[in-house]
Structure 1
Amino acid sequence: MSLPPVKTRERLSEVRYEIRGELARRARELEAQGRKQIKLNIGNPGAFGFRAPEHLQRAIAERIADTDPYTHQQGLPAAREAIAAFHKQRGTPNAAPERVFIGNGVSELIDLSLRALLNPGDEVLLPSPDYPLWSAATILNDGRPVYYRCAPENGFLPDPDEIEALVSSRTRAIVLINPNNPTGAAYPRELLEQIVAIAARHKLLLMTDEIYDSILYDGAQFTPIAPIAGDLPCLSFGGLSKVHRACGWRVGWAVLSGDPLASGDLHHAMDLLGALRLCANVPGQFAIEAALHGEDTIAPLCAPGGRLYEARRAVVDSIAASKHLQLVAPAGALYAFPAVTGAAAQGFDDHKFALELLETEDVLVVPGSSFNVPYRNHFRVTLLPQPDDLREVFARIERVLDRHVERAGTQRAAVA
C-alpha cells in the first residue's frame, strides 16, 4: 500500500530563493560530472579565499573554554554592551545592551522580528529589488509584501512619494536595505530623512538591514537611519558575515532604538521568541567586541588597490566594454546588478539566460527577477572573485549574449 504524500505549508509555494535554488542544484550536478564552475550566486567571502580577521579568531580561541553553556536569549552581556557602545558612537538614540538582540545571523533576526510584529494580513513595505529573505520571512509570518520601486533609471534609489502612496491601514513597517543587496545603492541622508518622515506620519516601524555598512567604494558614504529616526521605533540589523568575512560563524544582531515605551511590546515579543530558541551560537559572540572596536580590516579591501575595489573595477570596466550590458555602478556592498540592453534584450528571459550561461559556460549567476522585480533583463553577480576571474566571467557572458542576438536575428529572417 502506498502512503499519501506528507502535505507541506501552502504558503511555501509563494516563497522564492533562487540564490540557492534550482540553478544552484544544477551547478552541483555539473560539478559532479567533473566540470569546474565559477559560482557568483552567493556573497560568501570564505568561498573565495577571504578569512575572518586574525584578531577575531583569537578572541574566540581565547574564550573557547567559556562557550559550552547556553547564554542569555538576547546574547552575551559583554557582546551586547559592545554593540550598544558602537551604536551610541553613531548617535543611535537609547542604544542600550538590554535593547540588543544577538541571533544566528541577521537572517534569523529578520524572521524573528517579523514574527513578533505581524498579524495575518499585515503589510510590510519592501524595496524592489529586495534581498528575497525579506519577502520570504514576511510571507511565512502571514504578512503581505508590498513593493516600492527602486528603479535603475533613478540609480536604484526609491521615490519617497511612491513609498507613502503605498501605505495602507494594514501597513506595519518600512524595510530598507542600505547599502543595498542586490544593487549596491547607498542611500543619501536627505532620502533617509524623507523616509523617516513617512514612518513618523503613519506610525510605522523602521527596519533597516545594514549588514554591508562599511563596504563602500569611491568615496560613497553610509548614513545609519536610527540617529535620524530619533524617538521613532527602529530596528537596525548588522553582523559579522560580510564586513568581517565570517559568514559561517552565524553572528548577527538587531538594535531596537527610539522611545522605549513605544517599542516595549515589540521588545518583549522578540525576547520571548528568542527564549524559545534558547540562544544564538555562543563562540562567535566572543568576537563581536574585537570586530566593532578593534582594527578596521575592511577599508583597505575597498580602497584602490584593495581586492574588492579591483574586483568592482573589473566588473565596471567589463560592462562598459560590452555591446549588450549596462550597469549602475555599485556604491557599496558585494554585488553588481547589470542590465541586458539593446538587441540582446529582445526576447530576453533572465532565467533562461542564467541556465544557458551555466550549461554552456560554467558560470552561475542569479536571475534578476529572483529579487522581486517586474522586469526580466537583469542578473546579479558577486564581487568576491579575483579581478581576472571576473573579467573571464564577463567574456563568457558576452559570448552567450552574442549567441542570443544571433539566434534572434536568424528567427526574424526566417519569419520575413
Structure 2
Amino acid sequence: MVSPLNPRMAATFLPPVMEARRWLEGVEFPADRPLINVSQAAPVAPPPLALRQAIADAALNMDEAHLYGPVLGNDNLRDEIALRWSQSYKTTIKRDQVAITSGCNQAFAATLATIAGDADEVILPTPWYFNHKMWCDMQGVRAVPLATGDDLLPDPARAEALITDRTKAIALVSPNNPGGVEYPAELLQAFYDLCSRKGITLMLDETYRDFDSRCDGVSSAAHSLFDNPDWDQTLIHLYSFSKAFRLTGHRVGAFIASKSRLTEAEKFLDTVAICPNQLGQIAALWGLQNLTDWVLGERLEILDRAKAIREGFPKLPDWKLLGCGAYFAWVEHPFDLRSDQLAQQLVRDAGLLILPGTMFTPEGDNAGAKQLRIAFANIDRSGISDMFERLKNVS
C-alpha cells in the first residue's frame, strides 16, 4: 500500500522547467540544427574567472567557509547590501533590515511564511512567476490571479477589487518574469499606496534589477519606494545574486524588510537551511566589491539582446510581441494549437525549447494558451536570428 501524500503537494503542478526538459528525451538534434534552449532564465555560463578564483581561495584557506554561519547571513554581506542599496535607492537601509537566503525563491518562501497562513490570499498578476504560485499552493495559501492586459501591466484598481479580509499581500516582479515588462515607478507607488492603505504587504521581487533599461542599479534605481516613511511596514524587497554574478548553483538571494519581519523569518530559515551557503555569500560579497563594471557590461549585453528581439520580430508578421525586457520576451503565437502543444512541437520540428504560457497562467486561461515565454539571456544576436528563422518556418 502506498503511503498517502500531502494533498497540497499532490495538487501542485510539476516544476515547469523540469517538465520541459523531459520533452527533449528521445529527440535527436542534427549538427546543422542544434537545440536552441530559451526555456530558462538562469545563466549557463560560469562566473567570471576572478570570481571563481576567489571562491576557490576561500574554499582552500578560510576555515569558516565550511562552518555554520548566522541564520540571517554573514554580517559583512548584509552590511555591503545595506550600503549599496542605500546608494542606489537614495535612502538609508540598515543591516538589521537585510537577510541573506538560499536564492530568491527561498526569500519569497521565508517572507510569505511570515505573512500568510492556511486559507489566506495573495494576489499575483498573471502571467505569474510559476514558483510563486507553486509555493502558495503547497502552503495552502490561495493565489488570486490579477489578469493583465496586452501591456502586461497590473492595474491597482482591479487589484483593489480583489482584496478581501483574507488578502495578506500583493506580489509583483519587476522587471517582470515572465513578461519582461518594466513596471513604471508611478505604478509601483500606486501599488505601495494601495497596500499601505489596506494594511497588507507589497512583495516586490527585483531579481532582474541589474538589467533594467531605465537604470543601472548602481547609482540609480527604478523606483523610490524606500523614500516612503515607514516603508518597512509595507514593503518587502526580494533579490537574487544568481543573475548578476552567475551564481545559480551557489544559491544566494536576499530580502530587505523590517527588523521584526526578519525576526520571524529567522524561524523559517533556521528550520529549512540553518544558514545560507558560505561560499555563495563570500562570492556575492566579492562580486559586489569587485565586479561593478563587469555587471554593467553584462547589462549592456542583455539590453542589446532585447533590442535584437525587437528588431527581429518583424520577421514573424503573424506573431505579437507583448513584452520584452531583462531576460524575457512574452509573445503571442498565431496557431490554432494550445501553447503547451505548440511548445512540444517546436522541440521536434524546430529544435527550440520554449516554455508555453500555460505554465504561467491559471488553468483554463485563454490568453496563456496563445502565449509563450522566450528567455534570451543565453543566446546572442546570432542565436536570436537563428531562432527567428526557425520560427518563421514553423507551420
TM-score (norm 1): 0.84
User: In the superposition, relative to structure 1, how do residues 397 and 293 fare at CA in structure 2: closer, same or farther (>3 Å)?
Assistant: same
Matched position secondary structure for 1:124: strand
Q: Distance in 1 between matches of 2:28 and 2:138?
A: 32
Partner letter of residue 168 of structure 1?
T
- Hey, what does 2:374 align to over in structure 1? 381
State the shift of 1:44 in Å.
2.0
Structure 1 position 159 matched with structure 2 position 155: yes
Aligned residues with identical type, % of pairs: 24
Cα-to-partner distance string for 1:342-361 (whole Å, 9 max, x where unaligned): xx34x331011001111222
* Contact 1:18 1:366 (C-alpha < 8 Å) held by counterparts: no
Matched position secondary structure for 2:293: coil
Q: Distance in 2 between matches of 1:213 and 1:11?
A: 33
User: In the superposition, relative to structure 1, how do residues 321 and 25 fare at CA in structure 2: closer, same or farther (>3 Å)?
Assistant: same
User: In the superposition, relative to structure 1, how do residues 137 and 377 fare at CA in structure 2: closer, same or farther (>3 Å)?
Assistant: same
Partner letter of residue 189 of structure 2?
E
User: Among residues 14, 20, 41, which one is paired with 2:17 in the alignment?
Assistant: 20
Matched position secondary structure for 1:242: helix
Structure 1 position 335 matched with structure 2 position 336: no
Cα-to-partner distance string for 1:37-84 (whole Å, 9 max, x where unaligned): 2211111212xxx33234433443343223111001111111111111
- Hey, what does 1:147 align to over in structure 2? 145
User: In the superposition, relative to structure 1, how do residues 31 and 114 fare at CA in structure 2: closer, same or farther (>3 Å)?
Assistant: farther
* Contact 1:16 1:132 (C-alpha < 8 Å) held by counterparts: no
User: Among residues 282, 295, 300, which one is paired with 1:298 in the alignment?
Assistant: 295
Q: Distance in 2 between matches of 1:134 and 1:20?
A: 14
* Contact 1:90 1:227 (C-alpha < 8 Å) held by counterparts: no
- Hey, what does 1:41 align to over in structure 2? 39
Structure 1 position 392 matched with structure 2 position 391: no
* Contact 2:37 2:352 (C-alpha < 8 Å) held by counterparts: yes
Cα-to-partner distance string for 1:239-298 (whole Å, 9 max, x where unaligned): 2111222211211111114xx5xxx2x332211111222111110101223333432323
1:222-241 → structure 2 map (5 Å cutoff): 222-224=221-223, 226-231=225-230, 232-241=233-242
* Contact 2:192 2:234 (C-alpha < 8 Å) held by counterparts: no
- Hey, what does 1:60 align to over in structure 2? 55
Alpha-carbon RMSD = 2.4
* Contact 1:318 1:391 (C-alpha < 8 Å) held by counterparts: yes
Matched position secondary structure for 2:189: helix
Partner letter of residue 53 of structure 1?
P
Q: Distance in 1 between matches of 2:221 and 2:162?
A: 26
- Hey, what does 1:202 align to over in structure 2? 198
User: Among residues 320, 335, 357, which one is paired with 1:326 in the alignment?
Assistant: 320
Q: Distance in 2 between matches of 1:320 and 1:395?
A: 11
Partner letter of residue 377 of structure 1?
K
User: Among residues 175, 190, 196, which one is paired with 2:186 in the alignment?
Assistant: 190
Partner letter of residue 66 of structure 2?
D
Q: Distance in 2 between matches of 1:191 and 1:316?
A: 24
Q: Distance in 1 between matches of 2:29 and 2:144?
A: 40
Q: Distance in 2 between matches of 1:371 and 1:137?
A: 14
* Contact 1:193 1:228 (C-alpha < 8 Å) held by counterparts: no
State the shift of 1:167 in Å.
0.8
Q: Distance in 1 between matches of 2:11 and 2:176?
A: 23
- Hey, what does 1:414 align to over in structure 2? none
Q: Once structures 1 and 2 are overlaid, which stretch shifts more, 57-66 or 186-195?
A: 57-66
| Runs of at least 5 residues in structure 1 that lack an aligned partner in the other structure | 404-416
- Hey, what does 2:263 align to over in structure 1? 268
- Hey, what does 1:7 align to over in structure 2? 4
| Runs of at least 5 residues in structure 2 that lack an aligned partner in the other structure | none
Q: Computing the radius of gyration over CA atoms, which structure comes out larger, 1 or 2?
A: 1
User: Among residues 312, 315, 320, which one is paired with 2:306 in the alignment?
Assistant: 312
Cα-to-partner distance string for 1:326-348 (whole Å, 9 max, x where unaligned): 11352x321111112xxx34x33
State the shift of 1:94 in Å.
6.2
| Matched residues, number | 379
Partner letter of residue 280 of structure 1?
P
TM-score (norm 2): 0.88
User: In the superposition, relative to structure 1, how do residues 27 and 230 fare at CA in structure 2: closer, same or farther (>3 Å)?
Assistant: farther
User: In the superposition, relative to structure 1, how do residues 385 and 81 fare at CA in structure 2: closer, same or farther (>3 Å)?
Assistant: same
* Contact 1:45 1:242 (C-alpha < 8 Å) held by counterparts: yes
- Hey, what does 2:355 align to over in structure 1? 366
Matched position secondary structure for 2:254: strand
Q: Distance in 1 between matches of 2:26 and 2:99?
A: 39
State the shift of 1:176 in Å.
0.9
Partner letter of residue 265 of structure 2?
M
User: In the superposition, relative to structure 1, how do residues 134 and 366 fare at CA in structure 2: closer, same or farther (>3 Å)?
Assistant: same
User: In the superposition, relative to structure 1, how do residues 370 and 147 fare at CA in structure 2: closer, same or farther (>3 Å)?
Assistant: same
Q: Distance in 2 between matches of 1:130 and 1:247?
A: 21
Cα-to-partner distance string for 1:364-401 (whole Å, 9 max, x where unaligned): 1000121115211110111121221222222222222x
Moved over 4 A (4+): 31-36, 91-94, 218-222
Structure 1 position 357 matched with structure 2 position 353: no
Q: Distance in 2 between matches of 1:18 and 1:273?
A: 22
State the shift of 1:175 in Å.
0.7
1:242-253 → structure 2 map (5 Å cutoff): 242-253=243-254
* Contact 2:315 2:388 (C-alpha < 8 Å) held by counterparts: no
User: In the superposition, relative to structure 1, how do residues 93 and 117 fare at CA in structure 2: closer, same or farther (>3 Å)?
Assistant: farther
Matched position secondary structure for 1:338: strand
User: In the superposition, relative to structure 1, how do residues 148 and 391 fare at CA in structure 2: closer, same or farther (>3 Å)?
Assistant: same
